[in-house]
Structure 1
């Protein structure tokens, strides 16, 4: 059986998720696991897909960056799949596919993963440079910490004898933020 995995980083990328689902189903995926989550967050549907696949199955993705955040992450996922006897198939590779059942496929996927990781690092570097420039020009302030905006309410609730854990729950902020405000 071919099982698909689709991921986008944000809700705004709904069209991308739909396109991935369409391409995976067209490639013969009988089941598709999909989620809207950053690659650095816990990817529950990826874990579900990795648990779901069985020996002889193939996990399909449209692009390597939809599956892994780095070459190390990609190789770790491939190792988990290979331990279960499952192949990985990447559909969108300039008109051809990469399949980890072959040595050439594993080599190509590792190289493509390295290129994707390099591109991401360059993008983050440009982003940091842009933020630094905007800060220097006084155009970038960053976001105001959410908990700090509620400092007065935290102090008021503490004065009323409310426990820090209950303050955090009531205000929807982290316990550590409450303790930071209480000093």
Structure 2
């Protein structure tokens, strides 16, 4: 059986998720697990998909970055699949771990993808530092401080921190900071 996994980081990437599902189904995946979570967040559907796989199945993803955070994370996933007798197939670039050559290519490509990600983050940090030095980057506008009066008013009514955070669409920790600051 072919089992697919599709992931995007944000809800705004719905079209990307739909495209992944379409591609996986077109290749014959009978079961496709989907989720929208960041690469560093928990991945419940990934765990469910791996648990669903049985010996002889092939686990499919469209790209590396939809599956693993790093080379070590990729290795952990591949090992979990291998222990179950499940092959991993990545569509782009075309890699299939059912052979020794496929595993080698997977490890090489995973290392290259991780290197590219690290370089991109480094360039991003450099760009932000330059923009800050030029006075062009000030970060995002603080939302909780702008809502300090609303936070204090809701708190005075006896509303819980969690409920205040939910109503004002800010973090609970932000509510706590505003209230602690007086």
Q: Above 0.5 in TM-score?
A: yes
Aligned residues: 180
Q: Give 1:160 shift.
A: 4.1
Pick one of 104, 107, 112 that aligns with 2:109.
112
Cα deviations across residues 77-100 of structure 1 (Å, max 9, x unaligned)? 11111222211111222xxx3222
Secondary structure at the residue paired with 2:56?
coil
Matches of 1:40 and 1:28, distance apart in 2: 29
Q: Which whole-Å deviations, capped at 9, do the CAs of 1:125-173 have from their partners, x for residues lacking one?
A: 1111111122222221211232222112222333444444443344343
Secondary structure in structure 2 of the residue aligned to 1:125: helix
Q: Deviations over 1:48-91 (max 9, x none)?
A: 21121112111011221111111111111111112222111112
Q: 1:163 to 1:13 in 2, by over 3 A?
A: closer
Q: Distance in 2 between matches of 1:28 and 1:37?
A: 25
For the structure 1 residues 12 and 172, does the alpha-carbon distance in structure 2 shift closer, same or farther, using more than 3 Å as the test?
closer
Q: Hey, what's the Cα distance between the residues in 2 that align with 1:155 and 1:19?
A: 45
Q: 3-state SS of the aligned residue for 1:92? A: coil
SS of the aligned residue for 2:91 comes to strand
The equivalent residue for 1:92 is 92
Distance 1:76 1:53 in 2: 16
1:40-119 map, 5 Å: 40-93=40-93, 97-119=94-116
Structure 1 stretches of 5 or more lacking a match?
Answer: none
Any residues of structure 2 matched to 1:1-183 within 5 Å, and which?
Answer: 1-93=1-93, 97-183=94-180
The CA distance in 2 between the partners of 1:162 and 1:122, in whole Å, is 46
Unmatched segments (≥5 aa) in structure 2: none
Change in Cα spacing, 1:157 to 1:23, as seen in structure 2 (3 Å) is closer
TM-score by length of 2: 0.85
Cα root mean square deviation, aligned: 2.1
Q: Secondary structure at 2:92's aligned position in 1?
A: strand
